[in-house]
Structure 1
Amino acid sequence: MPDSGDVQIVKASNPGDSQVRVYAVAPRENADPDEIVDGFLEAMTSDDPGFATARKYLTRDAARNWKPEESITVLTNAPGRDQAVRMADPESKGRTFPLSGRQIATVDASRAYQPKTPADYHQSIHVVQQPSADGKGKEWRIDSLPKGLVLGEADFLRNYRSVNKYYFASGENWVVADPVYIRQRQDPVTRMDPVTQTVKALLEGPTGWLEPAVDSRFPTGTELREGVTTLVTDDQSTLKVPLNRKADLVSTPACKGMAAQLLFTLGDLTSVRVEQVEIQGSNGQRLCLLGKGQARDEFSPVRNPGRVENPYFVDDDGKLMSLSVDGRQPDRPVAVPGPFGKGVVALGSVAVDREESHAAAVLQEGRELRVGSLTTDEELPAPVVTSAGLRPEDRLSAPSWDGRGDLWVADRNRAKPRLWMVPGGQGERIEVGTPWLRDGARVESLRVSADGVRIALLVTKDDRTTLQIGRIERTFAEGRQTVAVTDLEDAAPRLESVTAVSWAGPSRLVVVGTEAGGVQQVRYVQTDGSTSATSVLPGLNGVDAVAAPYGEQAPVVADSGSDGIVRLGPGANWQPVVKAGGSPVYPG
């Protein structure tokens, strides 16, 4: 608690209660312009079918042309207008009401959330008088307004929720998450329930950013059968999904891939329990049936997704230790088999492959990246990557394995910063294409997703470290593989500086960072940059590194500096595990 300093007035934030519903109210007779603007802004936050009540605040032309499904502008708070700056418009005898706020994101027509560095928002609503319905007088109505919906963050989170759609990594047989936002309840425009909205969004294809790296097993043009607005499970928790003619001739393997995409996607919806999916053709015929367990076993990017996850860390002697944290009391750390557990070399940072058969370690001086067995005592091979950086902090970053078994590391050498990928952890290293790595920018640390399609990067430029999400693109020609990381997007623009990051599932990250003028915090962030009111984890000071499991049962583990290795279990607070140690990691 602070014991000095001035008291400041701050605006309380409403986290948004999804159980609260707003019912739009039509404009009253002879309402003045202020009431028309306020009523319309309130009506935009409702679930009114077709936004019919909101349209009553608009002129006939404006009501016909307004497309609320076109986009959503998200502000920190509901859009405000200042009575003092209302301006008269002598030519049209109308009035212009400036709208203001702090914009933090947009959601496009494909439902993709795009965060923005908070910036001033300035638009306006123009009202004019038009003949009333009975023709005996005139009523104020809006004839010009911003496109789409304009919502405060609390109203946005009350009405919309994040859902992962799933597609297949290009040329592979495992799925990749693609987060979008759908309505919490029935959609005002399509009249579809949340399950049907989610299926429709999946059929429409991946968002623009992810599209170059994934494929869909649904044939182009596949849609729900005409007139379907509700999908419900039967007493066997089977969801029957009727499709149009485009799906009638799909092969059985392709149909099972389609069903897997549906099962993974619907698994994010808490409102429905789907154990299996039956895909039906245009005449109601069954095309295929797939269960959740089979989909998970065949198409998950993580092998054995139900297994217990346990973390690793480096002790004070530079040895790699494993740690069981699934019980009430943490077990004593155990040195791993093989050279890294015997102290043959002193380790700085580590990464364990997802098979848990090998580990990659950057030695304490940061010059060498070496790969060793976790099952045998075989001699350590030669380094797979070396750095010529002058200082340890200018050499190799902590490494990371993707789900394909490839190893990644950044060389932070100020003279020539680069990103490396080592196929299989032992092949000839490949310099990754990074056209954005220039003008003094460099990668401080990295974590690759289990699907191998996305990479989380902490990029430092102009003395500021930001969290960027990049898309991994691979091409093969004449027996050679080319790899590039493209289309970087700022995943945490509201954080002034980011210290550490870890994947925490298919599309979620645990991030350690600080907001402008704030203190360090640990929070969950979606890969699209969105957060929720419950995303901030309990406070923890001096966090240097963080590691999260792929599933939700194992705890988050962190290196808290003077407190050593600590863990955060579900519904608990941070607990000390090991006093001396660092570089905590889960496989990956």
Structure 2
Amino acid sequence: MGTDRRRDGHGRVLGLFALLGCGVVLLSACGSMPVTGDVKAVDASQPGDSQVQVYAVAPRDNATPNEVVDGFLESMTSDDSDFRTTRKYLTREAASTWKPSAFTTVLTKAPNRSDRPFRDSDPGITEITYTLTGEKVATVDAQSAYQPLAPTDYNQSLHLVKENGPEGKEWRIDLVPDGLLLGQSDFKRLYRSVDKYYFAAGRTSEQSTLVADPVYLRSRTDPVTGMDTVTQAVRSLLAGPTSWLRPVVDSRFPAGTALKKGVTSLAPDDRNVLKVPLNKKADGVGQRSCRMMASQVLYTLRDLTSARVEQVELQRSDGSPLCVLGTDQAEEFAPDGSSSGPDSQYFVDAKGRVERIPGSTKGSGTPEMVSGPLGDGPVRMGAVGVARDEQRAAAVSRDKAALYVSSIVSDGELPAAAVISKAQNPNNRLSVPSWDGRGDLWVADRDPGNPRLLRLTGGAGKPQEVTVPSLDGGRIEALRMSADGVRIALLVTQDDHNTLKIGRIERRGPEAEQKVSVVELRQAAPQLTDVTAMSWSGRSRLVVVGKEQGGVQQVRYVQADGSTAASGVLPGVNQVSSVAAADDEQLPLMAATSSDGIVKLSPGDNWQTVVKEGSSLVYPG
């Protein structure tokens, strides 16, 4: 069967073919199909099935420069083992030095190339340069860490020369940038997000809690290492945390620990036990440390549906068992600090009282006023944040001038305000407070004359100012703490726009004199020009309310690394002022709206009204 070829809008010859019903795609600048059956042409940059297997085909004899460039770009979207076929488009020297795994550049669409009219009859041309262009939206570095970017112009060159081959001189690429160049749809087809887990630094073994570190790994076999996704995930875990998270987490694996040489495939047995052979670096590890190591593996693999791991057995270099840990035993290291996590919702009613929707009702129960002065006290409240143990809460007065901390399970007098803002305009006063997994309370004072991010250790005592050196003149409008206590989500106003940023929380010095700072802020939703509300929704995902340029308000999920979550945009709900989500994905997403009151969205359902009047809806945290 002959090759069916067509041109795209830029005059490039497309040779990407899907074998219908076979889950196979063949990439070729010019070639033939070695099978029979129906064939249809598809664009390499169109959304593809992640289960489609893609193969690259080497350049034909006497391929033109256009065909060489197109074939090279298309073959990068394949599952070519060690990119051996892809390298055939390069000169021998370039093929030996090109490093495809150095990083990946993600464009909105497949790259465009400048058209170069060429005639074989012109023997005077011995070299030629092509310009590749596009709109760059992200990069993935050598550690597999994703970095979103505000859309920027991409411009790079490929240089071709004639090289002696078996059939005479052939056009080949001799100057090529390291790394892969992919359109978004190809990137989503080839890669998947995986959360690695490490322990929050500076805590005792008994207080240890796991922190998610998202990376992007190949959805099937990695072309360079030959490893399946499960093995890639374990290998990446053993290599250590990504650079951004490394200063605030620890791995219990001894430095230099790696998979035993030659291991390229890990799979659980028929009892769902995964055996992980390690090198000699881990041979002498004690049982407590080994169990913590095994918990890192279990949580890293829990979302890989192909794995279904119920138990991990770490093995010494001689194959003997080092330790064994099951999923139930790993609960003591749960990333949310508890085996179940808080599941009640809290809000402020129309009379300024804090109320609770019992967790056992999944958002459908009758709200009840909390005990203590925040429920029926002398001050009307406007916003609330509840500690993760659900024993205390912090509430901001309706005029946003004062922050009060009190028990919500026992009666008592309203204590003196823990924080007071001196701003004249109520909108420049205190933000909604938030509690981290360590029991500390955080709030922002938005006073233009003295903007501050404040932390109350244990939710009590004198507020400590937290430095945010990378704020660059922006102002913190809202904040939410992660359950692990090492990351903070901030809504930052700058140039009349609210953007969502994630910061790393670094602590220096002994607990009594600890200096705390939020560093290396990074964009978490660069596709949204205005973000109005957000909440953590799981260990490395957030739910965000915002608008794209010129668009309407939408509620969507984003990953903490700034990539778009697979669940994407949620069903429409109007005029959302706040949103709340829990670590447990079976619990409903809640939202406070100006039109329908407090509404909830349960898995597989539509939005439903829970309370007609209420605001500042939160889960504990």
When normalised by structure 1's length, the TM-score is: 0.94
Give the C-alpha shift of residue 95 in structure 1: 1.6
Distance 1:64 1:329 in 2: 60
Instruction: Give the letter for the 2:369 counterpart.
Output: A
Residues 15 and 518 of structure 1: is their aligned pair in 2 closer, same or farther, counting only changes over 3 Å? farther
Residue 276, structure 1, aligned to residue 311, structure 2: yes
Residue in structure 1 matched with residue 498 of structure 2 by the alignment: 465
Distance 1:166 1:304 in 2: 16
Residue in structure 1 matched with residue 347 of structure 2 by the alignment: 313
Give the conservation status (yes or no) of the 8 Å contact 2:342–2:388: no
Residue in structure 2 matched with residue 347 of structure 1 by the alignment: 381
Distance 1:274 1:81 in 2: 45
Residues 312 and 19 of structure 1: is their aligned pair in 2 closer, same or farther, counting only changes over 3 Å? same
When normalised by structure 2's length, the TM-score is: 0.89
Instruction: Give the letter for the 2:212 counterpart.
Output: A
Is there any run of 5+ residues in structure 2 with no aligned partner, and where? 1-8, 10-42
Deviations 1:440-499 (A, max 9, x none): x21000001000000000011221211111110112249411111111111111211111
Q: Alignment partner of 1:138: what SS?
A: strand
Residue 390, structure 1, aligned to residue 409, structure 2: no
Which of 522, 530, 548 aligns to 1:515? It is 548
Distance 2:117 2:135 in 1: 18
Give the conservation status (yes or no) of the 8 Å contact 1:92–1:128: no
Give the C-alpha shift of residue 107 in structure 1: 0.3
Residue in structure 2 matched with residue 552 of structure 1 by the alignment: 585
Which of 455, 460, 469 aligns to 1:426? It is 460
Which of 456, 481, 487 aligns to 1:454? It is 487
Give the C-alpha shift of residue 16 in structure 1: 3.7
Distance 1:41 1:27 in 2: 12
Residues 404 and 327 of structure 1: is their aligned pair in 2 closer, same or farther, counting only changes over 3 Å? closer
Which of 40, 50, 53 aligns to 2:85? It is 53
Residues 453 and 328 of structure 1: is their aligned pair in 2 closer, same or farther, counting only changes over 3 Å? closer
Residues 573 and 13 of structure 1: is their aligned pair in 2 closer, same or farther, counting only changes over 3 Å? farther
Residue 164, structure 1, aligned to residue 198, structure 2: no
Distance 2:256 2:196 in 1: 17
Distance 1:445 1:288 in 2: 44
Residue in structure 1 matched with residue 437 of structure 2 by the alignment: 403
Residues 85 and 387 of structure 1: is their aligned pair in 2 closer, same or farther, counting only changes over 3 Å? farther
Give the conservation status (yes or no) of the 8 Å contact 1:70–1:148: yes
Q: Alignment partner of 2:89: what SS?
A: coil
Residues 420 and 85 of structure 1: is their aligned pair in 2 closer, same or farther, counting only changes over 3 Å? farther
Residue in structure 2 matched with residue 19 of structure 1 by the alignment: 51
Give the fraction of aligned pairs with identical amino acids, expressed as a percent: 58
Give the C-alpha shift of residue 378 in structure 1: 1.4
Residue in structure 2 matched with residue 3 of structure 1 by the alignment: none
Residues 306 and 14 of structure 1: is their aligned pair in 2 closer, same or farther, counting only changes over 3 Å? farther
Which of 198, 219, 243 aligns to 2:278? It is 243
Instruction: Give the letter for the 2:77 counterpart.
Output: T
Which of 368, 387, 405 aligns to 2:402? It is 368
Distance 1:455 1:14 in 2: 35
Give the conservation status (yes or no) of the 8 Å contact 1:87–1:95: no
Residue in structure 1 matched with residue 138 of structure 2 by the alignment: 105
Residue 264, structure 1, aligned to residue 299, structure 2: yes
Deviations 1:264-306 (A, max 9, x none): 111121111111111101101111111111112x111324333
Distance 2:547 2:346 in 1: 26
Residue in structure 2 matched with residue 79 of structure 1 by the alignment: 111
Instruction: Give the letter for the 2:401 counterpart.
Output: R
Q: Alignment partner of 2:469: what SS?
A: coil
Distance 1:223 1:91 in 2: 54
Which of 68, 74, 79 aligns to 1:36? It is 68
Give the C-alpha shift of residue 436 in structure 1: 3.1
Moved over 4 A (4+): 11-15, 84-92, 324-329
Residue in structure 2 matched with residue 417 of structure 1 by the alignment: 451
Distance 1:314 1:80 in 2: 53
Deviations 1:84-107 (A, max 9, x none): 699999997212121111100000
Deviations 1:148-202 (A, max 9, x none): 0000010001010000000000022111000001000011100011111000000
Residue in structure 2 matched with residue 505 of structure 1 by the alignment: 538
Residues 272 and 466 of structure 1: is their aligned pair in 2 closer, same or farther, counting only changes over 3 Å? same
